A and B are shown apart, each in its own frame.
Chain A
Amino acid sequence: AQSVTQPDIHITVSEGASLELRCNYSYGATPYLFWYVQSPGQGLQLLLKYFSGDTLVQGIKGFEAEFKRSQSSFNLRKPSVHWSDAAEYFCAGARYNQGGKLIFGQGTELSVKP
């Protein structure tokens, strides 16, 4: 069965520090992979996506993610966190040609210390 796992439920970082959020996937073939961000009570905003090709993908708001097939991972990174980055982050996967039929990880809540 397909699955997406985010091992960290809650992470706290200081403003200006670097960030890495972990995501592991289990799919029969290389899936589409996404990172979404959600502020309280809001919808989901797409940060970045991986379909194929270059394994380092750049997204909005200074985020990037690296696809590592050997580790079944798609970790999200940001070199310097801003207080406005505090939110819930979801990693999600989808099968080829099913880009909207998403399986989400459990989410990682990011808190930012001043």
Chain B
Amino acid sequence: DTEVTQTPKHLVMGMTNKKSLKCEQHMGHRAMYWYKQKAKKPPELMFVYSYEKLSINESVPSRFSPECPNSSLLNLHLHALQPEDSALYLCASSPPGGLGEAFFGQGTRLTVV
């Protein structure tokens, strides 16, 4: 199984809502990532988890809150988002120690209204 599964595929939320994005992998990878991709732009790294611990936060606003409950799951909790946060959110995973490529999920298309 070389898949990274993200749910939901599409999400529309209001600026006062709380929602969560989910990501799951069963490849035994111990590094997991959240990337944000605006239209016509490359993905930009948001967070890195290594062995279930947050290792990198690329100065992401606190309205985005990541969580890694176990080695297979990665969540991104969303609260009080702004319309400019509308984007494709991509989850990825890679083998332990960073000695390999990242596998990406299909993304969650988020629209903030």
Binding site for B on A (CB under 8 A): 32, 34, 36, 41-46, 49, 90, 94, 96-102, 104-107
Contacts and interface: CB of A to CB of B under 8 A. Distances in A.
Contacts of A97: 97-99
Contacts of B35: 102
Interface of B: 4, 6, 31, 33, 35, 40-45, 48, 56, 88, 90, 92-95, 97-107, 109
Given A42-B106, A43-B104, A100-B93, A94 B45 contact: no
Contact of B99 (A45, A46, A99): A99
A49 B6 CA distance: 24
A90 B42 contact: yes
B5 to A, nearest CB: 10
Contacts of A98: 98
Contacts of B4: 43
